[in-house]
Amino acid sequence: MQRKSGHVTLLDIARACGYSVSTVSIVLSEAPLSQNVAASTREQIRKMALHLGYHPDAYARSLRRRRSQTIAVLAYDLSDPFCIPVVHGIQASLQPASYLPLLVDAQTQRKLFDNYLRMILERRAEGVIVIASWIFQETNLLDDIEKNQVPIVIVGRDLTKRNVSSLLVDNKAGGALAMQHLIALGHRRIAIVRGPEELFDTELRWAGVQRAASEAGITIDPKLVYQLPNITDSTSGFEGGLHFAQEMLASKRPFTAVLAFDDLTALGVVRGLNSAGIRVPEDCSVVGFDDVLPAAVSTPGITTVHQPLKEMGLLAAEWTLQAINGREQQKERPVQLHNAQPELIVRMSTARAPARRKSSP
Amino acid sequence: MQRKSGHVTLLDIARACGYSVSTVSIVLSEAPLSQNVAASTREQIRKMALHLGYHPDAYARSLRRRRSQTIAVLAYDLSDPFCIPVVHGIQASLQPASYLPLLVDAQTQRKLFDNYLRMILERRAEGVIVIASWIFQETNLLDDIEKNQVPIVIVGRDLTKRNVSSLLVDNKAGGALAMQHLIALGHRRIAIVRGPEELFDTELRWAGVQRAASEAGITIDPKLVYQLPNITDSTSGFEGGLHFAQEMLASKRPFTAVLAFDDLTALGVVRGLNSAGIRVPEDCSVVGFDDVLPAAVSTPGITTVHQPLKEMGLLAAEWTLQAINGREQQKERPVQLHNAQPELIVRMSTARAPARRKSSP
DNA sequence: CGTCCTTATTCAAACGTTTGAATCTCTTGA
DNA sequence: TCAAGAGATTCAAACGTTTGAATAAGGACG
């Protein structure tokens, strides 16, 4: 009864109940024609399919239908908690459209990235969503995708100039939000941990921070600005923050608050401060960015700027689906840009500036 | 030049350089026969393929070759940091074998789980790796996979009784490790947060804890044992720990250490203790289990029992590949079980028991 | 009785590959 | 001159579906 390949085919069912492959196909794929098939026949075929454990071969089906029902999701690093909510949003969007997200994880490695991109093309993904980061310096590979007319959307970076629809958080607004929060709490000597220079977000957040400072008539002491090194692995944010704290404390420059580039950095800062005996938030406030899980569950919970990641994922998938449908109707979709609004999440790592100047022990 | 479908086929190349589809196929797929193809022809075909941007159609290829080169990875919830290192291990194993991991995330939803399982079967995955948890109560769906002769391996749960090769951490040893650590630090009044009853790990870890206690001649006060409720979402571990702390402190029963079921629970405990003014580890030690990212980056870092997740993922993929190869050679693979050895990671959340009895404020 | 619907089913081609067997063209040796 | 072999290329069938067109078997109607 079992085929040699181990999988049941239409032919098996056809033989088993004495109909042609066509009829069986029509019934099981619920084609329009199946209305003409006698109810008794339908019943019989369905029963047999169930009994034999039939599952239509996606390869044969896609080949014939010229649709893969697949959208590739290319994450630069799944171990970055940033990616997960985006993926969830995408899945939520794709599920009802019965598209399968082909989720691949480049693990921040360029070589893997290229490999997977090729695989995506071979698997005839109908669309590609890239969850991006610094991995993209040379994006020539996207050309390959474009050449094949596959719609592409990018999350976490603005590539509209290269004709790619993009979604990202309004980094400038986010940076300003964090800074305003610290200023409102009375902080004046605020240390800033800038992101790695290879990241696009870095400049934008920095611009927001500066805007907020100048609007409040505050000048940022350049000596209190620290530059994170480039990223080597997924924990380098934490270590950067730790290192910043040690260095800044050693320099004896007073500060009452730290604005960290992202949550992991903020957690590193907290660690560094604590081990020098400085309490957060009593002696020094710390604010992060992203709102990932570790920031929420650490103690004190890190005040941070929330990115609506799930919503961005949802929208990215929507756009991709629309582009696919649009292409069928020969309509050209315009390149879109979505600037998601960040939101300040106040937790326990920020407090009013201490009355007297005290930050180095 | 572009086909209507938007993808270049062998026929396009064949036409463009005047050879038959067969020759082109032989060259581009580097079949053994390609040694007989004239070097000049090879060159010409390769150039044309590159020029037109040819990518072989995985669907047609798999259909013909009867191999999907795909192994499905079914994670119960990607937002659980537990899953990620396992996935990384799997990827690392699969990459050199040029198998594509078809990564799907059930998001702890039974319905999604079933849907994806069907998809996996339709996509003719040659093997399935399940990263498991409580999601599996009724595992009848695995039968469907088994019926189709698809090798299956499960990570995080022992299903050898149901004929499924399994990898999991030695929970009993891990529980004992954590308990011994606390005992060695001089703790005697140790509160235990048991895991949810629906989880299999719960009983085993508990058994390890009890063994360690009795070996040290210590009795566990049943009043200090707390039972986590069943899981509702990915943050329920944290909330459970928080709730435990509040309840236990309200009861005024003295304790100097907490052994939490997992890291997220431990983080919840720390939060709960801290907000009642109890310092970790000075006043009370806390130990977790799993060694996920948030435990490492919080302050104080959580002392925990490390699971070698990446190694487990690696091995799971190895087994799957072996089973696939074995099946080709008609060899029956025996069901295997791997009990990974846990390792105690000492961080800052545990310390010697305070000299005087003090834990409730 | 022939024509024309309707209903139920099947034919056959196609999707893009791969591959065992076949073909064709030389060259070589007897 | 011819058979045999080697080298280069092509034929054609197959993988499991889907689907427009075709077929067959009844009726109903004029």
Contact call for residues B213 and B220 (beta carbons, < 8 A): yes
Paired with A193 in beta bridges are: A226
A267 to B298: CB separation less than 8 angstroms, yes or no:
yes
In a 13 Å sphere around the CA of B337, the CA atoms on its Cβ side amount to: 10
Interatomic separation, CA of residue A171 and C1' of nucleotide C27, rounded (Å): 74
User: Do B121 and A55 count as a contact with CB atoms less than 8 A apart?
Assistant: yes
For residue A298, the chain B residues in CB contact (below 8 A) are 267, 294, 297-299
Cα–Cα distances in Å, from A192 out to A214, A222, A242, A255, A257?
A: 15, 9, 13, 10, 9
pLDDT at A303: 98
Helices H, strands E: what count in chain B? 13, 12
Q: What is the pLDDT of residue B132?
A: 85
| Residues, CB < 7 Å to strand C | A 18-23, 26, 33, 36-38, 41, 60, 63-64, 66; B 3, 5, 7-11, 21-22, 25-26, 28-29, 31, 33, 54, 56-57, 60-61, 63-65
A41, closest nucleotide (Cα–C1'): C8
What are the backbone dihedrals phi and psi of residue B297, each rounded to the nearest 5 degrees, phi first? -100, -5
Distance (Å, whole) CA A5 – CA A3: 5
Band the pLDDT of A356: cuts 50, 70, 90.
Answer: low
Supply the pLDDT for residue A167: 96
pLDDT of residue A109: 85
The pLDDT score that the predictor gives to residue B162 is: 85
Q: How far is the CA of B46 from the C1' of C22 (A)?
A: 26
Per-residue pLDDT, B140: 63
**Could you tell me the end-to-end alpha-carbon distance of chain A, in angstroms, rounded to an integer?**
79
Q: Chain D: nucleotides under 7 Å from a protein CB?
A: 7-12, 14-21
pLDDT for residue A148: 72
pLDDT attached to residue B357: 47
pLDDT single digits (tens) B34-80: 999 999 999 999 999 999 999 999 999 999 999 999 999 999 999 88
Look at A104 and B103 and tell me if their CB atoms are within 8 Å. Answer: yes
* A332 has pLDDT over 90: no
Any idea which residue has 């300040």 for tokens? A344
A158-216 confidence digits (pLDDT tens) = 889 888 899 999 999 999 999 999 999 999 999 999 999 988 899 999 999 999 999 99
Compute the distance between CA of residue B353 and CA of residue A145 in angstroms, rounded to an integer: 61
Kindly report the average pLDDT of chain A as a whole number. 91
Report CA(B26)–C1'(C28) in Å, whole number: 28
Residue A173 and residue A149 in contact, taking contact as beta carbons nearer than 8 Å: no
The helix (run of H) or strand (run of E) holding residue A22 is: helix A21-28
Q: How confident is the model at residue A138 (pLDDT cuts 50, 70, 90)?
A: low
Are residues A297 and B122, on separate chains, in Cβ contact within 8 Å? no
B103/A100 CB distance under 8 A: no
Q: How far is CA A353 from the centre of its chain?
A: 34
Provide the β-strand partners of residue B169: B340
Task: Give the single-character DSSP code of A303.
Answer: B
Nearest nt to B7, CA vs C1'?
A: C16
B54: nearest nucleotide, CA–C1' criterion? C16
Place of tokens 């329920």: B236
Span CA (B335) to C1' (C18), Å: 35
Q: Which of B87, B115, B294 has the CB atom closest to A298's CB atom?
A: B294
Distance from C-alpha of A92 to C-alpha of A99, rounded to nearest angstrom:
10
Tally A–B CB contacts below 8 A: 152
**Among B85, B121, B297, beta carbon nearest to A264:** B297
Whether CB of A57 is under 7 Å from strand D: the answer is: yes
pLDDT of chain B, 361 residues: tens digit per residue: 333 457 999 999 999 999 999 999 999 999 999 999 999 999 999 999 999 999 999 999 999 999 999 999 999 999 888 899 999 999 999 999 999 999 999 988 888 888 999 999 999 999 999 998 665 665 666 677 767 789 999 999 888 988 889 999 999 999 999 999 999 999 999 999 999 998 889 999 999 999 999 999 999 999 999 999 998 877 889 999 999 999 999 999 999 999 999 999 999 999 999 999 999 999 999 999 999 999 999 999 999 999 999 999 999 999 999 999 987 776 677 899 999 999 999 999 999 999 754 444 3
- Residue A160, amino acid: T
Residue A228 Cα distances to A110, A232, A244, B141, B340, angstroms = 21, 11, 8, 49, 37
Q: Give me the CA A36–C1' D25 separation in Å, rounded.
A: 15
CA–CA separation, A268 and B298 (whole Å): 8
Mutation pick from A114, A293, A324 vs chain B, by most beta carbons of B within 10 Å, is A293
- The strand pair at A304-306 and A343-345 is best described as antiparallel
Contact list, B56 vs chain A (CB under 8 Å)? 122
For residue A135, what pLDDT is reported? 56
**Distance from residue B35 (CA) to nucleotide C19 (C1'), in Å?**
15
Measured between its terminal Cα atoms, the distance across chain B in Å is: 79
Contact, A172 vs A205, CB < 8 A?
A: yes
Domains and CATH numbers, chain B: 10-56 (1.10.260), 68-169+309-341 (3.40.50.2300), 171-306 (3.40.50.2300)
pLDDT at B333: 76
Give me the torsion for CA of B134, B135, B140, B145, rounded to 10°.
-110
